[in-house]
Amino acid sequence: MNLLSRRIRIEARLDNPGWIGVVSSILGIVLALIVGGFVLRAAGANDPIGTYQEIFKEGFGTPADWQAGITALLANTDCPKGSLCFGPLSDTLVKASPILLTALACIIAFRMKLWNIGADGQMFMGAWAATGVAVFLLPPTTDRPVMLAAMALAGILAGLLYGAIPGFLKARLNINEIITTLMLNYIAYKWMEYFVVVGPWSIGDFESTGKFPAAASWPRLTELSDRIPVLSGLTVHPGIFLGIVAAILLAWILYRSRWGYEIRVIGNNPKAARYAGISLRRNIILVMGLSGALAGLAGMNEVAALRELNGRFQRGFGFTGVIIAWLARLNPLAAILVAFLFGGLIVGTQLIQPQGIASMLQGVILFVVVGTELLFHYRVRVEKIEQVTAAPEASP
C-alpha cells in the first residue's frame, strides 16, 4: 500500500541578484519602524510619528542645528541660544564608539559560524583590566598617550583571554560556544561586582573606584572650547577612531588576507576547509580570541570615556553589537554606519518613558529584519513523500 505524506523544507534561493540583500535590509528596517510604531502606541505614545521625530532630534539634531553649528564654527563664536548645534551628534558618537567595537567582535566570529554571544562579558573584563592599569599599576603622572596605550593593551589581552576560553572548549571538546559565551557573561558581571561594589576596589559605599587620573581619560572636544567656542560641552572623544580603524583592518583581514580567506571558507563549508588542509581548531581559538580582544577594547574605550568604573557600568552593549552585526550583513565597513544609527537610537530614547523603549525597538528591528531576510533569501517548499507499507495479511 502506498501512502502520501508531506514534508516542509526551507531551502536557500540560489538565483537572487546581488542587490537583493540591500533591499531586504532597507525594507526590514522600514517594516520594523512600522511595527515599532504600533508597539509605541501600545506603550502609551499617542503620536508614534512625533515620537520618532523626537528620537531623531535628540539623537542627531535637526538641519537647523547643523546649520547653526557650521555658522558658529566659521565665525568662531558660541552656539546660538536655543540651538543644539553639534550636541546630539557628539552624544551619538560617544554611544556609537563602544557598540561599534562589540559589533566588530561579533562579525569576525559570525563569519566563521561561531556564535559569540559573550561580547558583553568580554567587554566587562576589558574594562576591569584597563581600570587596574589606570588606578593601581601606573602612577597618575604617567603621560596620557602611554597611559591610554597601556589601558588599551590590558583591555585587549583580558578580552582575548576571556574569548579564547570558549574557543578552546569548542576546538578541543566541541562544547557549544553559545552556552559557554552566554554563561561567561554572568561570571564577568559578578567578577566586576565583587571588585567594584563590595570588593577591594570600592571606595566606601560609593560602589566605584573613584575618578581616574586625567591621563587615564580620553580628551574631549570641549577641552578646545577656549579656542573654538562652539565646541563647548561636546563630549565626543578620539575613542570613536579606534572602532573605525579596527573596522578597516578587519575588512582587510576578511577580504584581502589569506587568514580571512580561511575564515570565510570555514564559515561556508567546514568539510571543504578541512579537506583543503585548513586547521579548524587553530582558527576557532584564534577567531574567538580576536573577537574577545575587540570586545575588551570596547570596555577600555568606555571606562576611558567615563573616567571611572562603578557598579552601574552599562550592560547590553555586547548584545547590541549582535544586532548591528546582522544589520550590517557581517560587513565591518557597513557596521560603522549602522553603529552610528544605533548610537542615535540609544541617545534619542533616553528621555522617553518607559526606559525599556530603546531595547524594545532594537529587538523589533532585529526580529523584523531577520524575518525579512528569511523571506528574501529562503523559500518554503512542501514536498510529497510516498511511503510504501506492507499490505495486511488475509485472515485464515
161-202 pLDDT per residue, tens: 999 999 999 999 999 999 999 999 999 999 999 998 888 888
Going by pLDDT thresholds of 50, 70 and 90, the confidence category of residue 372 is confident
Q: What's the pLDDT at 387?
A: 58
pLDDT in tens, 303-338: 999 988 888 888 889 999 998 998 888 999 999 999
Compute the mean pLDDT over every residue in the chain, rounded to the nearest whole number.
87
Q: What's the pLDDT at 245?
A: 95
Q: Work out the angle between the directed axes of helices 357-377 and 20-42 (0-180°, nearest 10).
A: 140
Q: Which of these ranges, 144-153, 200-209, 227-236, has the smallest mean pLDDT? A: 200-209
Q: Which of these ranges, 103-107, 210-214, 220-224, 365-369, has the smallest mean pLDDT? A: 365-369
Size of the chain in residues: 396
Q: What's the pLDDT at 133?
A: 94
Going by pLDDT thresholds of 50, 70 and 90, the confidence category of residue 46 is confident
Q: State yes or no: pLDDT of 3 exceeds 60.
A: no
| Cα–Cα dist 65/88, whole Å | 9
pLDDT in tens, 83-131: 889 999 999 999 999 999 999 999 999 999 999 999 999 999 999 999 9
| Cα–Cα dist 351/365, whole Å | 20
Residue 137 near residue 333 (C-beta atoms within 8 A): no
Q: What's the pLDDT at 14?
A: 65
| Cα–Cα dist 37/53, whole Å | 12
Residue 178 near residue 171 (C-beta atoms within 8 A): no
Q: State yes or no: pLDDT of 2 exceeds 60.
A: no
Q: What's the pLDDT at 396?
A: 53
Q: Residue 382's beta-bridge partner residues? A: 8
Provide the residue ranges of all domains of the chain, joining segments of one domain with +: 94-212+237-333
What are 383's three cell numbers? 514536498
Going by pLDDT thresholds of 50, 70 and 90, the confidence category of residue 64 is very high
pLDDT in tens, 228-271: 888 888 989 999 999 999 999 999 999 999 999 999 999 988 88
